[in-house]
C-alpha cells in the first residue's frame, strides 16, 4: 500500500522552480524535475488567491461550493463594511477536508502549515496550523492539544498578524533597502519556515502516516516584491537561502521515496509572475461613469510620492543607523495605514456608484444593478482585449465580475485622475509581481506506482488523486 507526501509552496510557479534549480544547481529539485512521473502547470481556481486556492486544493471543491473567495466577507464588503470572511475557518470546512475524510476511513494523517483551517480539530494523527490566515497560534492551533507546548518549544509561534506586519517590511525593504537588508529579510523568512519544517520532521519520524502534508508560505510574501523575471538570476540569487532550504526539503522527502512506498507530490496554490502593466479598475469605472468618487488622487501626487521614495532611498544609503531606523519606522507607519482597505472605501461614493472594486485579492468588481452586468462585461472585454479573462458570477459571496489577469498584468483599486486606466507598474511603485492561474504539479515516485493516474487538470483534482492512491473514497 502506498503513502503520500504533499509539499505545498505558496505561489511558486513551475517555471520559477525550474530556473531556480538550474541557476543555483539545486540537485534534489533537479533530480525530482528530471525523474518525475508528471510535471506540469495546472490551473488554480477563480480567483487565484491563496485563501480560495488552498481551500479548494484540500477539499476538492470549487469556490462556489466552499464559499471562500477572499479573506474578506464579500457580502459585507459590497456595502463597504470590512469584516473577515466567516467561512474562513475550520467550522464550515473541516468536514470536507481530505485529512478529515481520510481519518474517518481509518487512515493516519500529519498536516503542518496549511493556511486557513483554524482551529485544528480532531484527526487520526496530528494537525498543526500554519500562520497564513490563522487568527492566532495558540492551543487551538494544534491537535492533539497536548502537543502545543512541545510545538511552541520548537519555536513555532509566529502569527498571521505578525506575518502581515512583516509584509509592510518586505514592501519597504524591497523598494528602499540595501542588498544586505533584503538578504536579512529572506533569512528571517527562511528561518521561520525551517522551524515549521523541524516540527513536521519531529512528528513524521516518530510515527507512520498515510498522508503527510507540509506547506511553506513565505515565498508568496517575498515574491510579490522581489520576483523580477526580467532579472531572474539576480532574483534567484537574492532568494538563494530560501530556495536552498526548499532543496533540503526535497532531499528529505525523496529519501523516503527510495523504496517506492511513498508518492511525493509537489504543488502550489497559484503562480506568481512579474507584472508590467496595472489595470486601474476603479479609475476606469469612474471614466465610463459607473463609479462616483469621493476624491481622486492626482497623477502629480503619485509622481511626487515616487520622488519622495527616491529621496528616502538616497538618505537610507547613508551609513547612519539611527537615521535609518527613524525613517523606516515613520514610513512603515504610513505604509501600514495606506495598505488598509478603508482608504479605498473612503475614496468611493458607494451609495451613488453602480460598480466598484473594493478588494484586489479576489480580482473582482461589485455591480449594483443586475441590468448593467452584460453592458459592463462587454465594455470590459472591449477595453481589456485579451489582457484579462472576464468571468461573471451569481454567487452573493463572490464579486459579480472577476478579472483574471494573464501574465504581465494585474489590477489595482487606486482612483487616479487619469485618462488611460492601464498604466506601467512603475508608476504605482512597490509590488512587482502578482498572482496568476498557473499552479505547479509534480508527481514523483520510485517507479513502483502501478495505478492508473486520474487526470489532474486543476488543483481541485489533487484531492481525488490522493484518495485514488490511498484507495479511499
**List of residues contacting Zn ion (CB under 5 A):** 10-11, 50, 220, 269
Residue 131: which residues within 8 A CB-CB, separation 6 or more?
115, 137, 158, 159, 160, 162, 163, 192, 217
Residue closer to Zn ion (CB basis): 57 or 401:
57
Of 198, 130, 186, 194, the residue nearest 159 (C-alpha): 130
In angstroms, give the least distance from the CB of 51 to Zn ion: 8
Closer by beta carbon to Zn ion, 50 or else 235: 50
In contact, 384 and 237? CB cutoff 8 Å: no
Helices (H), strands (E): how many in the chain?
20, 17
Taking the complex as a whole, the smallest distance from the CB of residue 220 to Zn ion amounts, in Å, to 5
How is the chain split among helix, strand and coil, in percent rounded to 5? 50, 20, 35
**Nearest approach, Cβ of 409 to Zn ion (angstroms)?**
18
Q: Report the nearest approach of Zn ion to the CB of residue 267 (Å).
A: 11
Rounded to the nearest 5°, which phi and psi values hold at 368? -75, -45
Whichever of 111 and 222 has its CB closer to Zn ion, that residue is: 222
Given the complex with Zn ion, which of 115 and 293 has the nearer CB atom? 115
CB of 99 vs Zn ion, minimal distance in Å: 19
DSSP string, 195-257: HHHHHHHHHHHHS--SEEEEEE-HHHHHHHHH--GGGHHHHHHHTHHHHHHHHHHHHHHHHHH
Rounded to an integer, what distance in angstroms lies between the CA atom of residue 401 and that of residue 403?
7
Distance CA 182, CA 167 (A): 13
Closest residue to Zn ion using C-beta atoms: 50
Distance, CA of 281 to CA of 262 (rounded, Å): 47
Comparing CB distances to Zn ion, the nearer of 73 and 269 is: 269
Query: CB of 132: closest distance to Zn ion in angstroms?
Result: 8
Q: Which is nearer to Zn ion, 131 or 220 (CB)?
A: 220
Tell me the C-alpha distance between 108 and 119, whole Å. 19
Q: Cβ closer to Zn ion: 269 or 347?
A: 269
Q: How far is the CB of 377 from Zn ion (least distance, A)?
A: 27
Amino acid at each position: 500500500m502506498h503513502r503520500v507526501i504533499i509539499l505545498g509552496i505558496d505561489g511558486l510557479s513551475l517555471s520559477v522552480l525550474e530556473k531556480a534549480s538550474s541557476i543555483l544547481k539545486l540537485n534534489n529539485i533537479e533530480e525530482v524535475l528530471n525523474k518525475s512521473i508528471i510535471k506540469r502547470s495546472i490551473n488554480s481556481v477563480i480567483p487565484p488567491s491563496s485563501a480560495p486556492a488552498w481551500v479548494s486544493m484540500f477539499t476538492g471543491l470549487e469556490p462556489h461550493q466552499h464559499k471562500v473567495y477572499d479573506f474578506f466577507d464579500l457580502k459585507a464588503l459590497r456595502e463597504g463594511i470590512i469584516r473577515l470572511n466567516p467561512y474562513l475557518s475550520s467550522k464550515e470546512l473541516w468536514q470536507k477536508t481530505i485529512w478529515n475524510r481520510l481519518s474517518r476511513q481509518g487512515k493516519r494523517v500529519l498536516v503542518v502549515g496549511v493556511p486557513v483551517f483554524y482551529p485544528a480539530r480532531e484527526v487520526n494523527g496530528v494537525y498543526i496550523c500554519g500562520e497564513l490566515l490563522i487568527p492566532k497560534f495558540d492551543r487551538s492551533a494544534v491537535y492533539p492539544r497536548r502537543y502545543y507546548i512541545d510545538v511552541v518549544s520548537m519555536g513555532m509561534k509566529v502569527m498571521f498578524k505578525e506575518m502581515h506586519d512583516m509584509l509592510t517590511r518586505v514592501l519597504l525593504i524591497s523598494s528602499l533597502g540595501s542588498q544586505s537588508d533584503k538578504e536579512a529579510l529572506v533569512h528571517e523568512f527562511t528561518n521561520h519556515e525551517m522551524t515549521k519544517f523541524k516540527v513536521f520532521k519531529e512528528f513524521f519520524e516518530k510515527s507512520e502516516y498515510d498522508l503527510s502534508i507540509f506547506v511553506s508560505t513565505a515565498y508568496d510574501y517575498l515574491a510579490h516584491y522581489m520576483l523580477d523575471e526580467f532579472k531572474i538570476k539576480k532574483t534567484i540569487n537574492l532568494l538563494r537561502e530560501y530556495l536552498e532550504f526548499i532543496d533540503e526539503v526535497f532531499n528529505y522527502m525523496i529519501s523516503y521515496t527510495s523504496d517506492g512506498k511513498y508518492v511525493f507530490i509537489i504543488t502550489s496554490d497559484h503562480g506568481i509572475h512579474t507584472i508590467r502593466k496595472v489595470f486601474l479598475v476603479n479609475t476606469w469605472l469612474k471614466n465610463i461613469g459607473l463609479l462616483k468618487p469621493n476624491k481622486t488622487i492626482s497623477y502629480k501626487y503619485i509622481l511626487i510620492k515616487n520622488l519622495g521614495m527616491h529621496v528616502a532611498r538616497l538618505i537610507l544609503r547613508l551609513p547612519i543607523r539611527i537615521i535609518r531606523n527613524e525613517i523606516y519606522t515613520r514610513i512603515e507607519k504610513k505604509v501600514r495605514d495606506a495598505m488598509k482597505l478603508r482608504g479605498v472605501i473612503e475614496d468611493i461614493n458607494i451609495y451613488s456608484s453602480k460598480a466598484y472594486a473594493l478588494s484586489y485579492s479576489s480580482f473582482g468588481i461589485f455591480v449594483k444593478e443586475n441590468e448593467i452586468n452584460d453592458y459592463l462585461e462587454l465594455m470590459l472585454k472591449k477595453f481589456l482585449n485579451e489582457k484579462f479573462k472576464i468571468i461573471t458570477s451569481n454567487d452573493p459571496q463572490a464579486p459579480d465580475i472577476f478579472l483574471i489577469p494573464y501574465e504581465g498584468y494585474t489590477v489595482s483599486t487606486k482612483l487616479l485622475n487619469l485618462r488611460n486606466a492601464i498604466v506601467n507598474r512603475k508608476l504605482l511603485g512597490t509590488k512587482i509581481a502578482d498572482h496568476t492561474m498557473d499552479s505547479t504539479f509534480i508527481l514523483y515516485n520510485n517507479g513502483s506506482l502501478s495505478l492508473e493516474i486520474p487526470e489532474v487538470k486543476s488543483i481541485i483534482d489533487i484531492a481525488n488523486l490522493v484518495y485514488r492512491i490511498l484507495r479511499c473514497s
